[in-house]
Amino acid sequence: MKGCLRSYHIIDGDERTTEFYIESESCTPVCVVNKKPSDYYVACVEDSILLVSDPSMEQIVFEKFPRFETLCRILSEELLAKSQNAFADFKNASPEQRYRICWRQDLI
């Protein structure tokens, strides 16, 4: 991916951003895994170049290039660890720190 994506929910008519995805990160909606309608939306924040696939396309590529499947697994494990660490940090943060994290004020 090149560019920036934003995932968000619509709650009481308001968009609530849940995540940003930047270059070299992947965005695989949970609906792809659990095969249920998604609870959130994804939008490009800026001009972006995306690689879009579905599970059947991925299976064909994985069969043709087994090392690519290994690479995807390793990247998925790293992303899971990053997400778990971020959530643990959030749970251990003070209310003020949580507010800053949620509103990205810690990045300003």
For residue 35, the SS3 value is coil
Residue whose pair of structure tokens reads 């249920």 in the numeric block: 36
Q: Is 106 found in the same domain as 65?
A: yes
Q: Are 8 and 16 in contact (CB under 8 A)?
A: yes
In DSSP terms, 15 is beta-bridged to 10
Give residue 106's pLDDT: 47
Domains held by the chain: number: 2
Residue 5's domain spans which residues? 1-52
Q: Is 33 found in the same domain as 5?
A: yes
Q: Is 73 found in the same domain as 57?
A: yes
Q: Is 48 found in the same domain as 63?
A: no
| 41/43 Cα distance (integer angstroms) | 7
| Residues 33-65 pLDDT 10s | 888 999 899 999 999 999 898 889 999 999 999
Q: Is 24 found in the same domain as 43?
A: yes
Q: Is 45 found in the same domain as 5?
A: yes
Q: Is 32 found in the same domain as 9?
A: yes
